[in-house]
Amino acid sequence: MPTQPDLPGVLFTMRYPDDTGYVWNYIAGVRDRASSHLKDRAATYMAFPRLTGNPSYQPGHMTPVELDCYDNSAAGRAAIEAFVRAHDIKVMVFMSALPQTVCLDLLRRLGVRTINTEDDSYDPSRRDGLAKRGMKFLLRRVLGRQQHDLHLANSAAQQQFLLDYQLLPPGRVVLMKNSVDCARFCPGDQAAARAATGLDPDRFWLLAVAQARPEKRIDQLIRVVHAVAQARPQARIGFVYVGDGPPVAAWKQLAEELGVADRCVFAGRRNDVLPYYRAADLMVHAAERESFGLAIVEAMACGIPVVASAAAGPRETIVDGQTGALVDLHDFEAFTQAVLRYVDDDSMTKMHGNNARAHVDRAYNVVRHGKEFAQHIARFI
């Protein structure tokens, strides 16, 4: 959709080329929805470090441009300044960008206001010594430095972390919960989804969707699969992991060593995860650090319950005993027992799946998110 050059500009920034999908499609989609509510007030752009000609998400309300807004080199700063001046950019929306890592000094000089969506997970156990904490307080609370004009926390726990650990001023931190497109992520035909994904139609499928990073603990989930299979040898248990990265080779080897390789499907990275949600019986999520957990909420929107380690995000999104089960962070025996309760009780699995869908539709619908996002941006136009 063409922008209107006579209007002030809003620039949404992306960290990856436009052919990078899955969670980045979600981030782009929410920004696009926010833009639809700004169309009479601003010309909106979405900046990618590279336009490939094969976008995984096609914006409907913004003009895609090739500009790396996270490049703080001399050349990167010059390109950003030229774009800001040429398009009268008033607001730039970053994602998970510490103020000291982007050209905040340049943007302040140009009169650009900045908003940061806080999308990264964090370690809730982190603590600073007295000297470092005092320096943070001085810089951020007293001098007003090292901060964006607005930080949008994706969960209540994330908001508290930004206030208590990062010591950002309360007036610059706002809760804006992540969301799901409930019109797209919804229950569907399980048999058709299993046919489309090539999954055995007669198994009880456990699903994990996560980036392949150690803190996601997919190795522990493979051990849970082994324990469940041993506890219920008559049940046809299957496990499918959607994601990719260097640790996957070791996880495949672990499945071989435990004798469950024939039960495990490593599906790799998928831009469209919807068929896997619809094919599964139960979502399992073992991350020890999770600020929100988008895949959890997408799965619940598709009508499947979730067993998860009780990191900060899942504690907010899962209603324990109603839409799934929360388990102590390091208790994988309890995790196994929670999975077994769903394996053993088909009616509970269906009931909790129905509850999960209703919960997400009520609390995490993207329609609310897009309007709220636009309202935060409009403050600075």
Closest CA to 188 of 292, 271, 298, 285: 298
Check residue 119 and give its pLDDT: 81
SS (H, E, C) 48-61: ECCCCCCCCCCCCC
Residue 331 confidence (pLDDT): 97
DSSP states along 189-207: -HHHHHHHHT--TTSEEEE
Residues of the chain short of pLDDT 70, as ranges, are 1-5, 22-23
The domain defined by 9-179+366-378 carries CATH number 3.40.50.2000: yes
Q: Where are the alpha helices (DSSP H) in 302-345?
A: 312-317, 332-344
DSSP 256-305: HHHT-GGGEEEEE--S--HHHHHH-SEEEE--S--SS-HHHHHHHHTT--
| Structure tokens given for 282 | 């139960």
Report the 10 Å Cβ neighbour count for 47: 25
Residue 223 in tokens: 């051990």
**Residue 4, CB-side half-sphere exposure with 13 Å CA sphere:** 10
Query: What is this structure's pTM?
Result: 0.80
Give the Å distances, CA to CA, from 89 to 5, 35, 60, 115, 253.
11, 14, 20, 13, 50
* Positive or negative: CA dihedral 227, 230, 231, 236: positive
190-363 adopts what CATH topology? Rossmann fold (3.40.50)
Can you give the residue ranges of every domain in the chain? 9-179+366-378, 190-363
